[in-house]
Every structure is written in C-alpha cells, then in structure tokens.
A and B are shown apart, each in its own frame.
Chain A
Amino acid sequence: MTILRSLLFNAFFLGGTAVVVLLGVPLGVISALRKDGPADHATRIFAVSGIALPPFWFGLLLQLAFATWMGLLPTSGRLSVFTEPSEPITGLLLVDSLLRGNTALFREALSHIILPAIVLSLPCLASILRVNRSEMVEALRMDYVVAARAHGVTPWRIVMVHALKNAMLPTLAIIGLRWGWMMSSTVLVETVFDWPGIGLYAVSSAIAGDFKPVMGVTLIVGLNFMVANLIVDLLYGVLDPRLRRA
C-alpha cells in the first residue's frame, strides 16, 4: 500500500489533466464558432491525429525532437540522475520544491513533466475537442440562440451562457470517461519516459508474472474511474436543473 501511495502522486498526470481542461473546451468552442474556416479544419485535423497517434510512438518522437536534437528538454525520468531528490513532504516534487523555496529544483522537475504531460493529454484533449465542437455547432443552431440574438444579448453571453452550458453536458460525460482512460495510458507514457509511477510498476510486475501489484493497480485505476464518473454525474445536476429532481 505504501508503494502504491508513493507512486500515485504523478506530476505529469496532473499536468496532463490541467492541459486537457484548459485547452479542450476553448478549442472546441473556437472551432465551432469558425465552422468550416481554416481554424476549424486545423483543430479537426489535430483532433483526429490525436486519437490515431500511438502515444508510445509520439513520446519517442518528442524525445527525439526536443531532447536529442534540440536539447531543450530532458529525455526521461523525474529528475536528472545527478540531482538528489529532497525529503518528500507531499510526494509531489513540484509542490515540495516550492514549499522549500527551491526554484532550481522546481524548474528541473517542471522541465521533466512537460513532454509526458503533452503525450498523455493529447488523445484525451482530441476527443474532448471533437465532442465539444459538434455539440457547440448543434447548440448554436438552436432556436433559443436565435431568440437570444434577437433580444440583443451580446455574442459573448450567447456563446458562453446559452450555447456552452448546453454543450457542456455531453462534453462532461466524455471528460469523465477520458480522464479514466488517461490514467490507464500512464502505463504507456511511463514506459516511454521511464517514469517511476503506477503504470510502470504494473507493467514490470505483469512481465515478471507478479500478479498482486497488477491487481492493486487495476483496483486503483478502476476506483479513480468510478469516482470521476460520480463527479461528472453530480456536475450534471449543477448544469442542468431538469436533472436535479430525478
């Protein structure tokens, strides 16, 4: 259990989540507003590629480009092998280094999570973007949008309140699903980036034929998935008053 707890604090998983939430919905909205324009085509091509790119291979490509050829970012691991990690407070290097005021360590930890976070979030981001776009296109065609425009409601308010609130329901469902899947693709990303987390732990145990750690990880990932979907169901009620009574 202690092993699992220490492995669960996965910085790039959190980073990936942040990327997905901050980018997926706005890109979907922009794409829907500029339907069939160049921005729309670009985001759609990006979205389809994001789903089709094998994450393990994309990770290798990024390592080659940004770490080996350009030398901008480190290839793998949580820290460089020469850095002594400090005594953990929360277990998250980013938070620990900030709490201690160690900016050098913070910058190093941050540079190590950039590539894995991108690889991890891409498929998730892509499918949220797709769903959000198609729902926004649908919602912007509705009569209540025409009515709101006729009443002189500002375009910003029409998009953000009238259309987006309705488009968010199916989008939330996908966010819940994909968040759970994202946790399972840490398995691949951790293998590529040699990151000591639960995914790599599960894989090395599975290859060694040690079944108990695999069961533990499966349980945790399943639990995370269920909690995510529970949160989504509760948020449904917040967004849609009709569901509160049911």
Chain B
Amino acid sequence: MSAATEETVAAPPRRRLRLAIWLLTRSFSSMLGLFLVTVIVALALAGPWIVPYPEHVQGAIDLANKLQPPSAAHWLGTDEVGNDILTRVIIGARISLLVGIGITVAAAVIGVPLGILAGLAGGRLREVIMRFTDLFLSVPGLVLAIALVAALGPGIMNAMIALILVWWPGYVRLAESKALSIREEPFIEAARVAGASRARILRRHVLPNSLSPLIVKMSMDIGQAILAVASLGFIGLGAKPPTPEWGAMISIARGYLPDWWWYAMAPGVFIYLAVLGFNLLGDGLRDILDPRSNRG
C-alpha cells in the first residue's frame, strides 16, 4: 500500500519535469539564458586549463607588451602591466560566479528557515522575525552594503559578507508568504489529522511546495549578486587589484579610457552577458514553475 502511494506521488513530478523541459526549449529567451549561463559556468570551471597565459592570473609584469590592442596573440588586448585581458576575464568569471552563487546560497540558507519558522509559528515570534527583516529592507541594498563594507573594511570577503547581510531578508519574505499560504491548504490539515509530525509536514509538504519560487528567485539573484559585487569592485570597496575581478578591472580601465578603450570592453561585456543569462533563465523558469506570479 505504501509503495503504491509512493509511486503515484512520484510519477507526476517526472512527467512535470519533462513538460517543464519541453516548455523551456520552446522559449527563445529561456534558451538564450540557458546558453549564456552554460557558457559562463563552463568558462569558470575550465578556466585555469584553457586560459592562454596562466601566469597572468595573479598579475605578472610584462611592460614591453602593455596596453596592446586586440591581436592574434592577445585576443582582447593587454592591460597596463602587459597581462592578457582574455586570461583575466575568464578567471574573473570564476570569481564572479563563485561569489554570486555563494551570496545567493548563503542568503537562502539564512533566510528560508527563518521565513518558514515565522510563517508556521505565527504570533510573537513571527512579529520579531518579520520586523527585524523590515529593518534590513528599509535601506536600499547597495547603500547598506557600502555602509557595511565601510565598517568591515574593503576586500572581496567583506563585500561578500556585506551582500549576504543585505540579501537574506528577501528570502525571509518569500518563505514566510509561501509558508503562510501553504499552512491553510487542506492537504496540510489532512497530513496533521493523519498524525504526521511537525518535522514531516515541514519536510514533505511545506518545503517542496515552496521550492519553485525559491529556485526562480535564486536564479535571478545570482545575476544581481554578480552585478552587485562588480559594482562594489568598481567603486573600490570590493576585490582589490591585481585580483582579476570584472568590476575592479573596469575601475582601472577607466583611467585608460579614451585611448585604450578596448581594455574596458571585455569585463563589461562579460558582466552584462552573465547577468543577462541568469535573468533570462530565471524569467523562463518562472514562466514554467510559477506562472501566476509575474513580478519584475
């Protein structure tokens, strides 16, 4: 009996997955997003083995070749100390992706349990958690992050910590509203009547049902986190040169601007494509997983 129920429960998700994949391939913008994300992830994974000048990653000095325009030897030109820009941009993908995913996952790990707790517990505990969340949400993210980095000191680790602190409240909000609406569903009541424990209800019913908006939000947020880290790097509060971080690279390239303009192009294009990819993918996933909510 129990095996049979397990099977009927398991079959629809598999079919749903096939439907989801089919829907995803039907949309041009979703496929473009998937393609961009795949390329960025592949570059990040294979980075150290495919870059043409591995010794330029941490900043070698080759002044004879500084600030060269794009050529066969240096596809995207060289920077002010003669490092190959293509090499540094590819390694930059590694840093940005790692930081972007790190921030998003950490924020979700902090925010989601708090949100579900607030939604299910209700009462005074909910009030405390939600008001504390509002406190963080009352200042726009970038300014709060700058204030936090100013307190912690510049650097990529501190920028990451600051952005995690800025990012988690969004997940509390999302998980709380999801938990609140699911709590009222008849199947939760049925499970409770059938004698399921609180932990089981949470694990088997509440969490799987809040998963799809969570996946969508995380996909969008990875892109936004990459942008935020690059922004902090650009204003000089994030990664420090010679770390090949995209924002920090643009910040230096700015000083060489009208004459050596190609220096600033490559990192900017990479930020743009990475953020675009995660946004399009998130959009596509939302259309499939969570068609009712359509907020930009």
Tell me if A10 counts as interface (CB < 8 A to partner B). no
Contact between chains at B257 and A206 (CB < 8 Å): no
The answer for the CA separation of A61 and B269 in the assembled complex, in Å, is 11
Question: Which A residues, 196 to 220, have Cβ-Cβ distances below 8 Å to chain B?
Answer: 202-203, 205-207, 209, 211, 214-215, 217-218
Query: For B261, what are the chain A residues with a Cβ–Cβ distance below 8 Å?
Result: 64
Q: Take A57-B264, A188-B231, A218-B139 as given contacts and tell me if A48 and B29 are in contact as well, using a CB distance cutoff of 8 Å.
A: yes
The verdict on A191 contacting B146 (CB below 8 Å), with A130-B296, A131-B296 known, is no
By a CB distance below 8 angstroms, the chain B residues around A131 are 295-296
A202 partner, pick from B146, B236, B254, B280, beta carbons under 8 A: B146
Set of chain A residues within 8 Å of B147, measured between Cβ atoms: 206, 214-215, 218
B275: Cβ under 8 A from any A Cβ: yes
The answer to whether B268 touches A207 (Cβ under 8 A) is: no
B267: chain A residues within 8 A (beta carbon): 57
Partner of A217, one of B138, B143, B154, B280: B143
Residue in chain A with minimal CB distance to B280: A48
The answer to whether residues A203 and B237 also contact, given A51-B279, A134-B296 and a CB cut-off of 8 A, is yes
Please state if B237 and A211 are interface contacts (CB–CB under 8 Å): no
Label chain A's interface by main secondary structure.
helix
**Interface residue SS majority, chain B:** helix
**Do B295 and A225 have beta carbons less than 8 Å apart?**
no
Specify which chain B residues have a CB less than 8 angstroms from the CB of A222 in the assembled complex: 138-140, 143
Q: Identify which of B138, B146, B264 contacts A226 (C-beta below 8 A).
A: B138
**Interface membership of A68, Cβ < 8 A:** yes
Instruction: Select one of A64, A183, A191 contacting B140, CB under 8 A.
Output: A183
Taken residue by residue from 203 to 246, chain A's Cβ proximity to chain B (1 for < 8 Å, 0 otherwise) reads as 10111010100110110011001100000000000000000000
Nearest-neighbor residue (CB-CB) of A181 within chain B: B140
Q: Is the CB of B143 within 8 A of A56?
A: no
Residue ID in chain B nearest A220 by CB atoms = B143
Tell yes or no: A127 within 8 A of B by CB.
yes
CA distance A200 to B146 in the complex (A): 12
Closest B residue to A51 by beta carbon equals B279
Known contacts A54-B230, A207-B154; A184/B237 CB under 8 A: no
Quick one: CB contact mask for B122-150 with A, threshold 8 Å, 1 for yes? 00000000000000001111111011011
| Given contacts A54-B231, A60-B254, A206-B149, A225 and B140 within 8 Å (CB-CB) | yes
Contact A188 B150 (CB under 8 A): no
In the docked arrangement, what's the CA distance between A61 and B272, Å? Answer: 13
A52-B151 Cα distance, complex, nearest whole Å: 28
Residue of B nearest to A219 (CB): B139
Q: Is there an interface contact between A180 and B140, defined as CB atoms closer than 8 Å?
A: yes
The answer on a CB contact under 8 Å between A57 and B250 is yes
Q: In the bound complex, how far is the Cα of B254 from the Cα of A64, in angstroms?
A: 11
User: Is the CB of B211 closer than 8 A to any CB of chain A?
Assistant: no
Chain A interface, number of residues (Cβ within 8 angstroms): 47
Residues in B with CB closer than 8 Å to A221 are 139-140, 143
Residue of B230, B236, B258 touching A203 (CB-CB under 8 A): B236
B235 within 8 A of A: yes
Shortest distance between the CB of B10 and any CB in chain A (Å): 34
CB distance B272 to A53 under 8 Å?
yes
Does B294 sit at the interface, judged by CB under 8 A? yes
Chain A contacts with B in 17-57, Cβ cutoff 8 A = 47-49, 51-57
Is the CB of A170 closer than 8 A to any CB of chain B? yes
Known interface pairs A214-B146, A215-B147. Does A170 touch B295 (Cβ–Cβ under 8 Å)?
yes
Q: Does A164 contact B (CB under 8 A)?
A: no
Contacts of A225 in B (CB 8 A): 138-140
- In chain A between 48 and 82, which residues have their CB closer than 8 angstroms to a CB of chain B? 48-49, 51-57, 60-61, 63-64, 68
Task: Known contacts A61-B268, A221-B139; decide if A214 and B150 are in contact (CB<8 Å).
Answer: yes
B141, B144, B264, B283: the one contacting A60 at CB < 8 Å is B264
Indicate if the CB atoms of B258 and A64 lie closer than 8 Å. yes
Chain A residues near B167 (CB-CB < 8 A): none
Q: Which residues of A contact B272 (CB under 8 A)?
A: 49, 52-54, 57
Q: Which of B138, B146, B223, B250 has the most CB of A within 10 A?
A: B146
Q: Is A113 an interface residue (CB 8 A)?
A: no
Q: Does B271 contact A (CB under 8 A)?
A: yes
**Bound form: Cα–Cα A152–B223 in Å:** 47
Say how far A20's CB is from chain B's closest CB, in angstroms: 14
Q: How far is the CA of A26 from the CA of B222 in the complex (A)?
A: 30
Q: Which residues of B contact A127 (CB under 8 A)?
A: 296
Nearest Cβ on chain A to B284's Cβ, whole angstroms: 11
* A117 adjacent to chain B (CB < 8 Å): no
Q: Is the beta-carbon distance between B237 and A63 smaller than 8 angstroms? A: no
Give 18 pairs: A residue, B residue, CB < 8 Å, sorted on A: A48-B283, A51-B296, A52-B275, A54-B234, A54-B247, A61-B268, A64-B257, A131-B295, A131-B296, A181-B141, A188-B234, A188-B235, A202-B146, A203-B236, A207-B237, A218-B144, A218-B147, A225-B139
